[in-house]
């Protein structure tokens, strides 16, 4: 089941680009320019999560949060260009589920969205993540957190597993280092690419026939990494 996200922001360009990014990641998206409009939409459609800008025309985000949380009981992630600690404190005390500041990488926000949905909804929204991923002779079971290659178990650390799983969810697609950091470690690690480099090296030593000449996890120089299913390897 696809989670429904309501974006509330008066910046037209940001609202459209963010909606596109979320839709590309498998979410159902509705948008609104004002808190008043958003409350009407949310009352009818009851989205699973609201991304709410603090600075809005008319009713501001901090005031609107009370409506969304107390009346509709919908989780909220605050989105704001204001970095004052007061906003963070007020938002969390009023019941916001998370908080992210502009400018931001859309992948970082998506990782926050997924974390909140997992926390508030449990297994209800798998976000289109299959129970088992099979890519050639590579099989990943996210529920049992097991990996096999050619039927043989591969022992991975929790972070190695998260990294492989993130790549396997989108085979043949290049994922940036920042995307992998956001999905595997969280937004606070953005700017520390060496964490991904090291874990990729360790992961290759466990799943590649020759870690010095990798065929499964391929580096796209200056961009990131992609996982190539075995049947696509010449």
d(CA 217, CA 200): 8
pLDDT at 24: 82
**Domains of the chain: total:** 2
The domain boundary, picked from 74, 98, 124, lies at 124
The secondary structure of residue 171, as a DSSP letter, is T
Domain end point (choices 68, 99, 124): 124
97 and 194 part of one domain: no
Q: Does the structure show a pLDDT above 90 at 154?
A: yes
Instruction: Mark which of 100, 124, 148 sits at the end of a domain.
Output: 124
Return the higher-pLDDT residue of 1 and 174: 174
Closest residue by Cα to residue 35 from 3, 5, 58, 15: 58
C-beta neighbour count of 206 within 10 angstroms: 15
Q: What is the CATH number of the domain that holds 140?
A: 1.10.10.10
pLDDT score, position 189? 60
From CA 78, how far away is CA 80, in angstroms rounded? 6
Cβ distance 121 to 57 under 8 Å? no
| CATH code, 63 | 3.40.50.2300
Residue 181 CA, distance from chain mean position = 10
Q: Dihedrals φ, ψ of 180, to 5°?
A: -65, -35
Are residues 98 and 29 both part of a single domain?
A: yes
Residue range of the domain that includes 167: 133-232
Task: Using a pLDDT cut of 70, give the percent of the chain over it.
Answer: 81
Structure tokens at 80: 């704001």
pLDDT band at 111 (very low <50, low <70, confident <90, very high): confident
- Tell me the pLDDT tens digit for each residue of 46-105: 888 899 888 788 877 777 777 776 677 788 888 877 555 445 545 454 556 677 777 777
pLDDT higher than 60, residue 233:
no
Q: Is residue 6 within 8 Å of 41, Cβ to Cβ?
A: yes
Q: Shortest CA distance to 64 belongs to which of 89, 31, 38, 32?
A: 38
* 84 and 196 part of one domain: no
Q: Are 10 and 54 in contact (CB under 8 A)?
A: no
DSSP per position, 92-159? HHHT-SEEEESS--HHHHHHHHHHHHHHHHGGG--TT--SSEEETTEEEETTTTEEEETTEEE---HH
Does one domain contain both 91 and 142?
A: no
Q: Which is more confident, 164 or 132?
A: 164
pLDDT tens, position by position, 9-18 = 888 888 888 8
**DSSP states of 41-109:** HHHHH--SEEEEESS-SSS-HHHHHHIIIIII---EEEEES---HHHHHHHHHHT-SEEEESS--HHHH
Res. 227: pLDDT tops 60: yes
> Which pLDDT value is given to residue 104?
77
Give the global pTM: 0.52
What is the predicted pLDDT for the residue at 89?
45
What does the alpha-carbon distance between residue 108 and residue 178 come to, in Å, rounded to a whole number?
8
With cut-offs at 50, 70 and 90, classify the pLDDT of residue 166: confident
Between 100 and 1, the higher pLDDT residue: 100
Residues 69 and 18 in one domain: yes
One domain for residues 193 and 213? yes
| pLDDT band, very low/low/confident/very high, at 107 (cuts 50, 70, 90) | confident
Q: Rounded to an integer, what distance in angstroms lies between the CA atom of residue 77 and that of residue 73?
A: 13
Please, what is the average pLDDT of the chain?
Answer: 80
Q: Are residues 148 and 201 both part of a single domain?
A: yes
Instruction: Judge if 137 and 155 occupy the same domain.
Output: yes
Q: Which of 2-6, 79-83, 102-106, 146-150 tops mean pLDDT?
A: 146-150
pLDDT at 123: 44
């Amino acid at each position: 089941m696809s989670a429904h996200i309501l974006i509330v922001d008066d910046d037209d360009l940001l609202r459209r680009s963010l909606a596109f990014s979320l839709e590309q990641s498998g979410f159902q998206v509705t948008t609104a320019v004002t808190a008043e409009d958003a409350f009407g939409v949310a009352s009818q459609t009851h989205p699973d999560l609201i991304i709410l800008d603090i600075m809005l025309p008319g009713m501001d985000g901090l005031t609107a949060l009370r409506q969304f949380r107390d009346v509709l009981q919908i989780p909220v992630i605050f989105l704001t260009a204001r970095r004052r600690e007061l906003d963070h404190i007020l938002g969390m005390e009023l019941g916001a589920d998370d908080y992210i500041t502009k400018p931001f990488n859309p992948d970082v926000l998506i990782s926050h969205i997924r974390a909140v949905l997992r926390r508030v909804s449990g297994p209800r929204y798998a976000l289109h993540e299959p129970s088992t991923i099979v890519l050639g002779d590579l099989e990943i079971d996210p529920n049992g957190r097991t990996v096999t290659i050619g039927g043989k178990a591969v022992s991975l650390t929790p972070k190695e597993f998260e990294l492989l799983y993130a790549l396997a969810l989108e085979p043949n697609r290049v994922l940036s280092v920042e995307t992998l950091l956001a999905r595997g470690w969280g937004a606070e690690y953005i700017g520390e690419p060496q964490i991904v480099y090291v874990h990729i090296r360790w992961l290759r030593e466990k799943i590649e026939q020759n870690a010095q000449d990798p065929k499964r996890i391929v580096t796209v120089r200056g961009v990131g990494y992609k996982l190539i299913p075995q049947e696509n390897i010449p």
